[in-house]
Amino acid sequence: MSKRILAVDDSTSMRQMVVFTLKGAGYMVQEAADGQQALDVAKTSQFDLVLSDVNMPVMDGIQLIRELRALPNYKFTPILMLTTEAGAAKKMEGKQAGATGWIVKPFNPDQLLATVARVLR
Amino acid sequence: MTIDLSQFKQTFLEESDEGLDVLESGLLSLDSGTADDDVIHAVFRAAHSIKGGAGTFGLMEIADFTHIMETLLDEMRDGRREILKKDINVLLTSVDVLREMLEAAADDVPPSMERTLEVKKELEEALNDNGSAQISDQAPLEESEDTQSLNGDMVESGEAFKGWSIFFKPMEHMLRTGNDTVRIIRELDELGAMELTVDLENLPDFEHFDPELSYLAWNIKLIGDIEKSQIEEIFEWVDEDCELNIETLGEEGNAVEMASSAEQPEQEVSEEQQPVPQKEGGAVATPEVELAPVSTLEPVAEKVPAATTPGVEKRKEKRKSSGEGGSIRVGTDKVDTLINMVGELVITQSMLSQMGDEFSMERLEALREGLAQLERNTRELQESVMRIRMLPISFSFQRFPRLVHDLSQKMDKKIELKLTGEQTELDKTVMEKIGDPLVHLVRNSLDHGIESPDQRIAAGKPEVGVIQLNAYHQGGYIVIEISDDGAGLPRDKLLSKAITQGLASEHEKIPDEKIYDFIFHPGFSTAEQVSDISGRGVGMDVVRRNIKELGGNVEVTTDPGKGTTFTIRLPLTLAILDGQLVKVGKEIYIIPLVSIIESIEIEADKISSIAGGNEVYQLRDEYLPLIHLDQVFRMEPRELRLQDSLMIVVEGDSGKVGIVVDDLLSQQQVVIKSLESNYKRVEGISGATILGDGTVALILDMAGLIALSNNEMDEYRPRAAS
Amino acid sequence: MNDMIEDINDKLGELDFLSDSSNEQHLTFELEGESYAIDILRVQEIKGWNKVTSIPNSPPYVEGVINLRGVIVPIVDLRKRFGMPEVLYTKTTVVIVMKVYGEVHDRTMGIIVDSVSDVCNISKDMIKPAPVMRGVISNDFVQGLTTVNDRMIIIVNIDELLNSGELALEKVS
């Protein structure tokens, strides 16, 4: 049974790339363009992994993580931040909100797949 | 596995284009103080996205450049930096640079670095100002992996070791971060031979056991040729959520500094008598060090010599014209309407077809109704198809805030731009072609219309001048108004210039509107010096000609001291024309209705010949040259006598002319078909159409026709009746 | 004649453009008693003669334009183009609508001929170079000569012919 991944990023090209890469590796993928959309989608289907950008309109990545962690079925789900900001501050914030870890942009498809595989084994 | 990312590059470029628009309009509103709270965040996000995407798609110069912008914007959005005008100006210039760089990327050529480096410097200076000096803590983007700094475990790194001893105790909440202890241990296992003992010390009894919390700790021996960094990487995400200690394994295979007394080999449960002295989990896992402001942003990533900038101009042009035959985004609502229309057409068609199968004269009325229905369906379909090509004029208007901002600064004038009717739609191609004329008119208002702040105050006007762009539909046309509350057109100057140019005589009484209309004549700039703002050689006459070519017209009205308004009328589509069918000899031609001033029955006594065998017609107080199509087009001469013919009066560049026709036929909307695509351009003809009977009729092009006829005749300038 | 036109149009419709044999098929037509041939792949359709709308200031051999299912197509009188004596157009006058390839872009044009004959196979090795011919047709337009059933057939280079002289398109600089 394929693992289900939710990809969240307000940049269409980024989203497309991630979705394409993951689907190509056999994962089932859904996408959302901001935190609120992601939250709505996450409530209707169960995902095994959430990949989310940090800076998004409406609801940003950090808030999304908080909201997801508050849901009973996402307490332990791996949530990875996709961030260009290697700075400690953002990562700290993410961790405090409950993020599992992060992937630093720019990443190439292989890196993405390796990290996802790592977390979903 | 290599995945081809280039397919997403196109989306990224389009997205970035939009992002740049957001950046620009956001910066402008921040500048004018009209921005609400969200704007700075949206602006930051736009830069952030472009940076991220650029890095992903390998456009490192763009990523580097955008990174500085992003840093600046980050400080602004966090409130660590005041939003200053000069910084906004630098950022606006950066937007321009980014546009160029993105265009280069779209054309797959390396970007021209000259300007980029200049502006980069300016950005860096801006960053270093104001004390918030740290160029951000991001390591050079070439590294895509987050590497933790190895903090001084110099002794231990760089040497292959027999192994490591790791103490790992997740904090209670660690599982709630989605990190899985089992996964971490498994990853360690992959690094080398592992021996592992679990420490159950903190495990509570069953009643108090909460399965969501973590109570266990592990002592792990990892043997093999392993770098410390590899281990640290595995714990990277959880270093704040656990206690961690990584020590080298001595030669003997015993842990150095391992404070546990009882150590059992293999996975046995060991009972710890003493609590293992914990080093705080921070020993190895240090938070990210702020890198000193290294010049990581120096153009090290330069792989490209400074390309010449002429390439940029070319690309700009190419980009402008690439809109033709390009693609268009259509709202699904328009497509749905279209589908409905076609559905109705199909129904009508099948109804008529059925009628045709069993027709009798009694059903004639029903047939007529059916045909009327067909006509309605076709017309509705036509209208909804045309709407597909239509886009809101906001696409055209959106360049003006920036233009007005830059130019008004340059000219030391205070100008506010108001845009209304931006949602008014027009044909995509018409919009592309009206762009330059609009720019010229706005520049004109900026330059000659609006006075300097001092002048305005002296005149009792508010210091800030207003330029307003408005658009609305009227009939089958779109009307665009450009108005300013400036000084108005200088009537007397215009009049004297007209006299000098021989367009009017001193003693004539010329109505004001005609005087103001003179500005559209070639060579008619009344500015003392042609300022480089409005440009040389691109005069109002070109503006009018361009608009005429689109099947429209432009007029000006002014109120001395109060302001000027230019009014442009354009057909909603280039594909259809309102035409007057005329018969000339054996042929039928079509004259665009918009060009026709009036139609006159020719009176013999008003005709006079002038030198060269050319004829003129006296119409009230003007003499109009007559154009004989059969002569100009070298056709068989008409049979109808001149005095029995009609004259269609049309507006030419330098005055009115009369086209001689046999008869006026119907007025109708005609679909413009290309004559050029299978033949070639014919002077005097703008296209062709297919009449109801299936034959082809040619559509006359006024400007070309007049030019042709001028070549036939001697040059003639209309003069007033004496 | 109408039957023949229908026949040929049907054949055109059935042509399998991928098969090798069609590469060598030519449509033959008559002008002033001589037989000519053109590559069948360029022939779009064959029509009878209809009223034409004249084009201002056009060369005499450009008769005008017609409406071909919504597209404006110019019609060239080959007799006039070749300087042959003019004849009146009749019900049997035929217009061959062709695809003309050009340096600038492709065009659809029609040529008026006296009549069309059949479609025949003319393979490359059957085509002999034309001797320099005095007068009527410039060698630029002639690809070569061949003989079929004892008749000499002149193979015309349609692109050269219909892109030459005043029909030529200006190149965009």
Query: Which pLDDT tens digit goes with each residue over B362-416?
Result: 888 888 888 988 988 888 888 888 888 888 999 899 889 999 998 888 888 989 9
CA distance linking residue B254 with residue B221, whole number of Å: 9
Three-state secondary-structure class, residue B105: helix
For residue B719, is it within any domain? Answer: no
Q: Are C71 and B676 in contact (CB under 8 A)?
A: no
For residue A98, what is the nearest residue in chain B, using CA coordinates? B177
Which residue bears the tokens 């015993």? B254
Of B1, B42, B240, the CB nearest to A95: B240
Q: Which two tokens stand for residue C71?
A: 């597209």
For residue B680, what is the nearest residue in chain C, using CA coordinates? C169
B561 or B538, which is more confident?
Answer: B561
Same domain (yes/no): B119, B160: no
Q: What is the reported pLDDT for C130?
A: 78
Percent of chain A with pLDDT over 90: 55
A2 or B146, which is more confident?
Answer: A2
Nearest partner of B87 among B49, B141, B132, judged by Cα: B132
pTM here is 0.60
Residue B80 DSSP class: S
Same domain (yes/no): B473, B438: yes
Mean local confidence (pLDDT), B261-266: 37
> Cis omega (within 30 of 0) on the bond before A57?
no
Distances (CA, A) of C52 to B678, C65, C110: 15, 6, 11
Nearest partner of B434 among B383, B467, B402, B477, judged by Cα: B477
Same domain (yes/no): B643, B706: yes
- pLDDT category, B53, cuts 50, 70, 90? confident
- pLDDT category, C172, cuts 50, 70, 90? low
Q: What is the DSSP string of B596-628?
A: EEEEEE--GGGEEEETTTEEEEEETTEEEEEEE
Q: Are B81 and B130 in contact (CB under 8 A)?
A: yes
- Strands A79-83, A101-104: parallel, antiparallel or unpaired by DSSP? parallel
Same domain (yes/no): B567, B584: no
Strands (E), B620-708: 622-628, 646-652, 655-661, 663-671, 685-690, 696-700
Residues in contact with B585: Cβ distance below 8 Å, sequence separation at least 6, in sequence order: B629, B630, B635, B636, B637, B638, B639, B640, B662
- pLDDT category, B710, cuts 50, 70, 90? confident
**Helices (H), strands (E): how many in chain C?**
3, 10
Tell me how crowded residue C50 is: count the other CB atoms within 10 A of its CB: 14
Q: Are B163 and B249 in contact (CB under 8 A)?
A: yes
Domain end residue (candidates: B102, B133, B164) = B133
For residue B296, is it within any domain? Answer: no
Question: Would you call C72 and B632 a contact, using CB atoms and an 8 Å cutoff?
Answer: no
- pLDDT category, B591, cuts 50, 70, 90? very high
Nearest partner of A78 among A58, A104, A102, judged by Cα: A102
Rounded to 10 degrees, the C-alpha dihedral A88/A90/A96/A100 comes to -90
Q: Are B653 and B518 in contact (CB under 8 A)?
A: no
Residue type, B524: F
Mean local confidence (pLDDT), B421-426: 89
- pLDDT category, B658, cuts 50, 70, 90? very high
CA distance linking residue B305 with residue B569, whole number of Å: 48
Cβ–Cβ contact B241 with A under 8 A:
yes
Q: What is the reported pLDDT for B77?
A: 86
Residues in contact with B273: Cβ distance below 8 Å, sequence separation at least 6, in sequence order: B261, B262
Domain end residue (candidates: B133, B167, B190) = B133
Cβ–Cβ contact B211 with A under 8 A:
no
Residues in contact with B158: Cβ distance below 8 Å, sequence separation at least 6, in sequence order: none
Alpha helices in B207-309 (DSSP H): 228-235
For residue C101, what is the nearest residue in chain B, using CA coordinates? B678
Cβ–Cβ contact A73 with B under 8 A:
no
- pLDDT category, C171, cuts 50, 70, 90? low
Q: What is the reported pLDDT for B566?
A: 95
Question: Would you call A17 and B139 a contact, using CB atoms and an 8 Å cutoff?
Answer: no
Q: Which two tokens stand for residue B129?
A: 């100002």
Nearest partner of C80 among C58, C112, C49, judged by Cα: C112
Same domain (yes/no): B233, B279: yes
Distances (CA, A) of B437 to A112, B287, B534, B544: 49, 58, 11, 8
Residue type, B411: M
CA distance linking residue A5 with residue A31, whole number of Å: 8
Mean pLDDT of chain B: 78
For residue B507, is it within any domain? Answer: yes
Query: In this predicted model, what pLDDT tens digit does every residue of C7-65 receive, in sequence order?
Result: 777 777 776 554 555 468 899 999 888 899 999 888 999 988 888 999 999 999 999 99
Among B34-43, B339-348, B660-669, B707-716, which stretch is predicted with the lowest mean pLDDT? B707-716
Query: In this predicted model, what pLDDT tens digit does every residue of A79-114 receive, in sequence order?
Result: 999 887 666 677 888 888 999 988 888 788 888 999
CATH number of the domain residue B51 falls in: 1.20.120.160
Q: What is the reported pLDDT for A84?
A: 73
Task: Say if residue B133's pLDDT is above 70.
Answer: no
Query: Which helix (H) or strand (E) is B221 found in, with range?
Result: strand B217-223
Task: Say if residue B149's pLDDT is above 80.
Answer: no
For residue B188, is it within any domain? Answer: yes
Question: Considering only residues 108 to 137 of chain C, which have any Cβ-Cβ distance to chain B shorter than 8 Å?
Answer: 108-109
Query: In this predicted model, what pLDDT tens digit does every residue of B80-94 receive, in sequence order?
Result: 888 888 888 899 999
Q: What is the reported pLDDT for B538?
A: 62
Q: What is the reported pLDDT for B92?
A: 92
Query: Which helix (H) or strand (E) is B315 found in, with range?
Result: helix B310-321
Among A31-35, B33-37, B147-151, C50-54, which stretch is predicted with the lowest mean pLDDT? B147-151
Residue type, C132: V
Domain end residue (candidates: B571, B604, B639) = B571
Query: In this predicted model, what pLDDT tens digit does every residue of B628-639 receive, in sequence order?
Result: 999 899 888 888
Q: Residue B183 burial (CB < 10 Å; 0-12/13-18/19+)?
A: middle
CA distance linking residue B406 with residue B574, whole number of Å: 33
Mean local confidence (pLDDT), A27-48: 93
Same domain (yes/no): B617, B691: yes
For residue B312, is it within any domain? Answer: no
Nearest partner of C42 among C158, C129, C166, judged by Cα: C158
Q: What is the reported pLDDT for B599?
A: 94
Q: Residue C136 burial (CB < 10 Å; 0-12/13-18/19+)?
A: exposed
CA distance linking residue B127 with residue B401, whole number of Å: 26
| Residue C64 C-alpha, separation from nearest chain B C-alpha, in angstroms | 10
Q: Residue B426 burial (CB < 10 Å; 0-12/13-18/19+)?
A: buried
Q: What is the reported pLDDT for B563?
A: 93
Same domain (yes/no): B450, B484: yes
Residues in contact with B674: Cβ distance below 8 Å, sequence separation at least 6, in sequence order: B687, B688, C72
For residue B393, is it within any domain? Answer: no
| Residue B675 C-alpha, separation from nearest chain C C-alpha, in angstroms | 6
Task: Say if residue C109's pLDDT is above 90.
Answer: yes
Distances (CA, A) of A83 to B43, B47, B209, B286, B297: 17, 14, 36, 20, 19
Please tell me the total count of domains within chain B: 5
Among B523-527, B561-565, C124-128, which stretch is predicted with the lowest mean pLDDT? B523-527
For residue A109, what is the nearest residue in chain B, using CA coordinates? B3
Half-sphere exposure of residue C72: CA atoms within 13 angstroms, side-chain side: 26
Q: Are A6 and A38 in contact (CB under 8 A)?
A: yes
- pLDDT category, B119, cuts 50, 70, 90? confident
Which residue bears the tokens 């992937």? A103
Percent of chain B with pLDDT over 90: 20
All structural domains of chain A with their residue ranges:
4-120
Mean local confidence (pLDDT), C129-144: 74
Mean local confidence (pLDDT), A25-37: 93
CA distance linking residue A94 with residue A102, whole number of Å: 9
Task: Say if residue B471's pLDDT is above 60.
Answer: yes
Q: What is the reported pLDDT for B223?
A: 86
Question: Would you call A11 and B53 a contact, using CB atoms and an 8 Å cutoff?
Answer: yes
CA distance linking residue A106 with residue B63, whole number of Å: 10
Q: Are B684 and B627 in contact (CB under 8 A)?
A: no
Q: What is the reported pLDDT for B328?
A: 80
Same domain (yes/no): B44, B115: yes
Among B70-84, B247-261, B675-689, which stretch is predicted with the lowest mean pLDDT? B247-261
Q: Are C17 and C99 in contact (CB under 8 A)?
A: no
Q: In this complex, which chains have at least 3 CB pairs below 8 Å with chain B?
A: A, C
Range of the domain at B75: 6-133
Q: What is the reported pLDDT for B306?
A: 34
Query: In this predicted model, what pLDDT tens digit does every residue of C62-99 receive, in sequence order?
Result: 999 999 888 899 999 998 888 888 888 877 789 999 99
What CATH architecture applies to the domain A4-120?
3-Layer(aba) Sandwich (3.40)
Mean local confidence (pLDDT), B218-232: 87
Task: Say if residue B528's pLDDT is above 60.
Answer: no
For residue B431, is it within any domain? Answer: yes
Q: What is the reported pLDDT for B509?
A: 78
Q: What is the reported pLDDT for C1?
A: 56
Q: What is the reported pLDDT for C104?
A: 77
Q: What is the reported pLDDT for B274?
A: 35
Of B633, B694, B696, the CB nearest to C65: B696
- pLDDT category, B135, cuts 50, 70, 90? very low
For residue B685, what is the nearest residue in chain C, using CA coordinates? C56
Three-state secondary-structure class, residue B132: coil
Task: Say if residue B136's pLDDT is above 50.
Answer: no
Which value, in Å, is the radius of gyration of the alpha carbons in chain C?
16
Cβ–Cβ contact A29 with B under 8 A:
no
CATH number of the domain residue B512 falls in: 3.30.565.10
Which value, in Å, is the radius of gyration of the alpha carbons in chain A?
13
CA distance linking residue C77 with residue C161, whole number of Å: 12
| Residue A118 C-alpha, separation from nearest chain B C-alpha, in angstroms | 8
Size of interface A-B (CB pairs under 8 A): 124
Q: In this complex, which chains have at least 3 CB pairs below 8 Å with chain C?
A: B
Three-state secondary-structure class, residue B460: coil
Contacts of C71 in chain B (CB under 8 A): 673, 678
Test the B interface: residue of A11, A34, A83, A95 with most B CBs within 10 Å:
A11
CATH number of the domain residue B590 falls in: 2.40.50.180
Task: Say if residue B475's pLDDT is above 80.
Answer: no
Same domain (yes/no): B202, B217: yes
Nearest partner of B266 among B200, B219, B217, judged by Cα: B219
Task: Say if residue B50's pLDDT is above 80.
Answer: yes
Residue C21 DSSP class: G
Task: Say if residue B157's pLDDT is above 70.
Answer: no
Fold of C2-167: OB fold (Dihydrolipoamide Acetyltransferase, E2P) (2.40.50)
- Strands C71-77, C107-113: parallel, antiparallel or unpaired by DSSP? parallel
Among A5-19, B47-61, B145-159, C32-46, which stretch is predicted with the lowest mean pLDDT? B145-159
CA distance linking residue B601 with residue B660, whole number of Å: 10
Task: Say if residue B156's pLDDT is above 70.
Answer: no
Question: Would you call B682 and C57 a contact, using CB atoms and an 8 Å cutoff?
Answer: yes
Residue type, B680: K
Among B375-389, B415-429, B519-533, which stretch is predicted with the lowest mean pLDDT? B519-533
For residue B558, is it within any domain? Answer: yes
Among B152-156, C75-79, C167-171, which stretch is predicted with the lowest mean pLDDT? B152-156
Task: Say if residue B590's pLDDT is above 90.
Answer: yes
Q: Which two tokens stand for residue C29?
A: 């037509």
Q: Residue C69 burial (CB < 10 Å; 0-12/13-18/19+)?
A: exposed
Task: Say if residue B657's pLDDT is above 60.
Answer: yes
Q: What is the reported pLDDT for B36?
A: 80
Percent of chain B with pLDDT over 70: 81
Q: Has the ipTM of the complex gone over 0.95?
A: no
Mean local confidence (pLDDT), B281-300: 35
Q: Are B699 and B689 in contact (CB under 8 A)?
A: yes
